[in-house]
């Protein structure tokens, strides 16, 4: 059997290069994460900036208005994160005391039913510590990004300043019409995804805030913010956002209100995530459900919580890069949602 040594060597070199790139990204995570977040913000901000320019505003004024809006939102976000972390950590002893009382009630009720359980077992099941720790970890990660807000904002400004010249640079680099068309289609799909996902995430956060406020749950702005941020995480984001709120409601207000909060989260995510969002997004993503879930795990491991939030856009970028070369197009096919149609 004849072995194609050149082909094998090319595969080995490619795999080694990918491993080195990933190791470099993880080692430079402190720089890579703010940069990726800047690109994410710039992609969202470019749409209103170009819209203002089409309405007759000078480019500098449109850029200034968008930057001021982003800075205002960043300031409000930073204030909410810091306040939420302080309130959550300050109220945690109260919630733990209420949880102990709830644990004894639950144990007594189960024993009356003839089920032999111990207090430590029920405490382990109802322990909100893991969920609260997960929430504070996410908030601290976002808070560290807010602390680097000047770096992120300056990067956003420079990206938006260069946005108008991107088409000419793409023509100069790619040359061929086919490659340019694919890249423009990718950028169009990416901006469409980001815009729709952001609008749906904002609606989710607002509805969750209203829901928990009406039911009297503590820290409604925190749960609304988590619902907004984690809505970017595919498949499991809404579950992660809802669990801490349900557990807190159980501890604070009892089982009935906890069930009402859980049903409210379910209704909001069914309406927005399973009905409205697919209707507006359509099939533009071109990623299979399995790839979306695996990308969530991979980018979360590589870049932390922000990698989870940006897992779909990052995977779409990798897919378009694979699709641009003949020898890697099979990888793009594996990442896609549908198998290519056979000719003839």
Give yes or no for residue 283 having a pLDDT over 80: no
Give the pLDDT score at 47. 80
Give the pLDDT score at 62. 86
Give yes or no for residue 309 having a pLDDT over 70: yes
pLDDT tens track for 7-38: 667 777 777 877 888 888 778 787 888 888 88
Give yes or no for residue 210 having a pLDDT over 90: yes
Give the pLDDT score at 207. 92
- Closest C-alpha among 249, 253, 269 to residue 208: 269
Out of 62-71, 96-105, 125-134, 187-196, give the one with best mean pLDDT.
Answer: 62-71
Give the pLDDT score at 1. 47
* Higher-scoring residue by pLDDT: 330, 179: 330
What is the pTM for the complete model shown? 0.71
Average per-residue pLDDT for the chain: 75
Q: Mean per-residue pLDDT for 185-205?
A: 79
pLDDT tens track for 55-88: 888 888 888 888 888 888 877 877 777 777 777 7
Q: What is the dihedral of CA 232, 236, 240, 242, to 10 degrees?
A: 90
Give the pLDDT score at 13. 76
Domain ranges within the chain, ordered by starting residue: 30-164
Give yes or no for residue 285 having a pLDDT over 60: no
Q: What percent of the chain has pLDDT over 90?
A: 4
The residue whose two tokens read 């695996």 is 294
- Residues 251-289 as b/e (b if ≥16 CB within 10 A, e otherwise) read bbbeeebbebbbebbeebbeebbeeebeeebeeebbbee
Give the pLDDT score at 138. 63
The alpha carbon of residue 201 and the mean position of all alpha carbons in its chain are separated, in whole angstroms, by: 10
* Higher-scoring residue by pLDDT: 263, 170: 263
Q: What percent of the chain has pLDDT over 70?
A: 69
């Amino acid at each position: 059997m004849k072995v194609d040594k050149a082909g094998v060597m090319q595969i080995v070199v490619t795999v080694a290069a990918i491993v080195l790139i990933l190791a470099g990204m993880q080692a430079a995570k402190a720089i890579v994460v703010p940069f990726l977040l800047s690109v994410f913000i710039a992609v969202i901000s470019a749409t209103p900036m170009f819209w203002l320019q089409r309405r007759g505003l000078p480019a500098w004024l449109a850029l200034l208005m968008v930057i001021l809006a982003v800075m205002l939102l960043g300031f409000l976000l930073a204030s909410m994160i810091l306040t939420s972390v302080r309130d959550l950590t300050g109220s945690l002893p109260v919630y733990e005391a209420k949880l102990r009382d709830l644990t004894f009630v639950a144990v007594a009720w189960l024993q009356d039913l003839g089920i032999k359980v111990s207090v430590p077992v029920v405490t382990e099941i109802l322990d909100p510590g893991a969920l609260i720790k997960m929430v504070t970890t996410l908030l601290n990660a976002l808070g560290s990004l807010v602390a680097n807000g000047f770096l992120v904002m300056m990067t956003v400004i420079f990206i938006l300043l260069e946005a108008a010249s991107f088409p000419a640079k793409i023509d100069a680099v790619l040359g061929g019409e086919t490659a340019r068309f694919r890249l423009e289609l990718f950028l169009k799909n990416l901006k469409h995804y980001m815009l729709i996902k952001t609008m749906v995430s904002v609606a989710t956060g607002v509805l969750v805030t209203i829901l928990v406020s009406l039911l009297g749950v503590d820290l409604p702005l925190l749960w609304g913010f988590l619902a907004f941020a984690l809505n970017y995480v595919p498949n499991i984001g809404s579950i992660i956002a809802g669990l801490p709120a349900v557990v807190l409601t159980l501890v604070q207000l009892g089982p009935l209100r906890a069930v009402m909060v859980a049903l409210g989260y379910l209704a909001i995510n069914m309406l927005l995530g399973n009905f409205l969002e697919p209707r507006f997004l359509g099939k533009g993503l071109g990623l299979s459900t399995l790839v979306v879930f695996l990308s969530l795990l991979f980018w979360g491991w590589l870049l932390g919580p922000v990698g989870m939030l940006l897992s779909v856009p990052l995977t779409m970028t990798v897919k378009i890069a694979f699709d641009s070369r003949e020898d890697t197009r099979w990888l793009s096919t594996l990442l896609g949602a549908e198998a290519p149609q056979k000719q003839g």
